[in-house]
Structure 1
Amino acid sequence: MVRRRRPGDVALSPRAAMTVVRSATSADAGMLAELRWEFRSARQPPVETHDAFVKRCAAWMRSELTTPHAWRAWVAVDEGAIIGQVWLNALEKIPNPIGEAERHAYLSNLYVKPSERGGTGTRLLETALAWAREHGVDRVVLWPSPRSVTLYLKHGFTHGGDVMELRVEKDFSSSSR
């Protein structure tokens, strides 16, 4: 999708402008799982080993990317290497007889390798949001990292709304994953 830059948009670095953004495939699952490990384990200590996580995550991602599911993913590729990703889960509400939107999406795992930033995250986000618009999504929700809040605000996201949340406690020390 090509669009005109708006005031306040992130200026793309020359490298980010040359990066290819494409739909992820099941063949990407191993690298996407590695990036997921890099992203999440940098935020807090992991509860499983690198190898166990990557194996488990890659299997999940491969399944999601192989068969039609609610999840979609896009990758940023620079010189043949995947340097970033974003995932979007389309959520449908139960049909409603009133004029209320029935399609939402959950955006997750927007991550670009730190050495490759400079607009690549913006390109990934814009790609996911374009898909959401094209597919009748009314609302996109996410849980931002502190570092990403500014990016989301620049793209029209707001804090608050009418969503309520309940954190269900889970014992992550068990092997019931």
Structure 2
Amino acid sequence: MTTDLTVRPACPADARRLAELRWMFKQEDHDGQPPAADRRLEEADRWIRDRLADGRWLAWVAETGGEICGHVFLCLVERFPDPYGDSAPVGYVTNFYVMPSQRNRGAGSALLDALKQHCRGARFDTLIVWPSDRSSPLWRRSGFETPQELLELPLDAC
């Protein structure tokens, strides 16, 4: 584990670095190919900055040596009020990434711990994630399970 590792909530001022890491993350998924010319980094920067500023999304960053080396994002999914059941929100977890040089050094676990601590304190009901084949073992080790009740309708299939 990295001894100078810190985890903190992300803020709008982090958006540019988070956008850069997002591009790195997606390039790993596409064997290092550069993104399409019309998918500028500025678009991701603005998107992240806007959502962190207005609270639609939350994120946590891992830092080592004063540099952001990883992140995880959370979107609150409100549930309709229910007079007979629990209306606690659901959290959609996504965009979890740690730079390759910091993997297996505790950054990923620390990010997920911070996210789960926040969600427990905010009384979330459930966290959901759509894992890739590559990330599925990590999510399962972190306590995520296959849902019994969730159904999915891929809209491009109908």
In the alignment, what sits opposite 1:144?
Answer: 131
8 Å Cα contact 1:96/1:102 also seen in 2: no
Regions of 4+ moved over 3 Å: none
Q: Paired residue for 1:63, among 47, 50, 54?
A: 50
CA-atom RMSD in angstroms: 1.7
In the alignment, what sits opposite 1:173?
Answer: none
Q: Paired residue for 1:48, among 33, 36, 42?
A: 36
Question: Which one is further off, 96-105 or 133-142?
Answer: 96-105
TM-score (normalised: structure 1): 0.80
In the alignment, what sits opposite 2:102?
Answer: 116
Distance apart, 1:165 and its partner CA:
1.2
Task: Write the letter of the residue equivalent to 2:58.
Answer: R
Q: Distance in 2 between matches of 1:87 and 1:75?
A: 9
Distance apart, 1:144 and its partner CA:
1.2
TM-score (normalised: structure 2): 0.89
Q: Percent identity?
A: 36
SS at 1:73 equivalent: strand
Question: Gaps spanning 5+ residues in structure 1: where?
Answer: 1-12, 170-177
Task: Write the letter of the residue equivalent to 2:109.
Answer: T
8 Å Cα contact 1:37/1:53 also seen in 2: no
In the alignment, what sits opposite 1:92?
Answer: 78
Task: Write the letter of the residue equivalent to 2:82.
Answer: N
Render the CA deviation track for 1:10-53: whole Å, top value 9, x for unaligned: xxx2x1x421101111111111001101111221366623x843
Q: Distance in 2 between matches of 1:102 and 1:25?
A: 25
Q: Distance in 2 between matches of 1:117 and 1:68?
A: 28
Q: How many residues align?
A: 153
In the alignment, what sits opposite 1:83?
Answer: 69
8 Å Cα contact 2:77/2:89 also seen in 1: yes
Question: Gaps spanning 5+ residues in structure 2: where?
Answer: none
In the alignment, what sits opposite 2:144?
Answer: 157
Q: Distance in 1 between matches of 2:55 and 2:142?
A: 28
